[in-house]
Amino acid sequence: MPSSAPLRLLVSCPDRPGIIAAVARFLHERGANIVRSDQHTSDPRGGTFFLRMEFVLPDERRDLLEAFGLTVAAPYRMTWRVIDSQHRKRIAVLASRADHCLVDLLWRQRRGELAAEITMVASNHADLRSTVEWFGVPFHHVPMPAAGKAAAEAELADLLEGRCDVAVLARYMQILSGAFLDKIGVPVINIHHSFLPSFPGAAPYQRARDRGVKLIGATAHYVTAELDEGPIIEQDVVRASHRDDAAALARLGADVERTVLARAVRWHCEDRLLQHENTVLVF
């Protein structure tokens, strides 16, 4: 009997005819049942082709990866990986003093809404310790003094390295260096409280109020060494009024921040995101 937990195949390669047929034929010959397939091409004439496919196998096939690499991936020059959907990704959450995004993720994990495990929370302030520990998650306080930030970053990187599959910045109000990102070696997802590329950096709600915007939003993106310039995963907005001061905008925006970050984290943990240059494809 086939396993109920599907495997996920993620592929990117130069676009050409026959890719889907080759993949489907390979899986069919091994008795696999394809349960979902999504694809996209950046350009049907010489672009890049992307595929996300879920399938179940009739039994454990240890030869699958090697055979696929030789018979399908190599001829089509594929970059590819197969992921077992039963594998729960380990999330490390970084937060500061604001708790709305952090608590939302902890709550969703408790309800089984994330195909992942939050293994730790680290913060540059100790304010949220009791909240995090109430959820049964380890809390680590790593201060970030301006005079010793490099050493503090190194301590934080040592804490995360090898202990998470993705890091999530849940309103972590620190700029992380490229050296930190390289050391931890996993994707990092940030929630920024504006509709990027508008109002990057600090105090976006006040700047939105000063500009008189009628929509405010939030942006979840992958983190790069360039501040708020990483590939965008998800965005959403809510209407604002001239009657709303910066504090009111922050209250309105908090709901958007929670939902946008939760979607981005869930999609990442379900292997639904593929990057193409500075764009994120969401399958």
Q: Which residues carry out catalysis?
A: 228
Cβ contact 170:102 at 8 Å: yes
Residues 203-255: tens digit of each pLDDT: 777 877 888 887 788 899 999 988 778 999 999 998 888 887 878 888 888 99
DSSP letters, 169-238, are: ESS--SPPPHHHHHHH-S-EEEEESS-TTSS-SS-HHHHHHHHT-SEEEEEEEE--SSTT-SPEEEEEEE
Q: Is 22 exposed, middle or buried (0-12, 13-18, 19+ CB in 10 A)?
A: middle
pTM greater than the 0.85 cutoff: yes
User: Confidence band (pLDDT; 50, 70, 90) for 202?
Assistant: confident
Which numeric CATH code is attached to 7-84? 3.30.70.260
Residues 27-48: tens digit of each pLDDT: 999 899 999 999 999 999 989 9
Residues 52-102: tens digit of each pLDDT: 999 998 876 667 888 999 999 999 999 999 999 999 999 999 999 999 999
Percent of the chain that is helix, strand, coil (3-state, to 5): 35, 30, 40
Residues 161-190: tens digit of each pLDDT: 999 999 999 999 998 999 999 999 999 999
User: Would you put residue 93 in left (φ > 0), alpha (ψ -120 to 50) or beta?
Assistant: beta
Q: Where along the chain do its domains lie?
A: 7-84, 89-282
User: Would you put residue 227 in left (φ > 0), alpha (ψ -120 to 50) or beta?
Assistant: beta
User: Confidence band (pLDDT; 50, 70, 90) for 1?
Assistant: very low
CATH 3.60.15.10 fits 89-282, yes or no: no
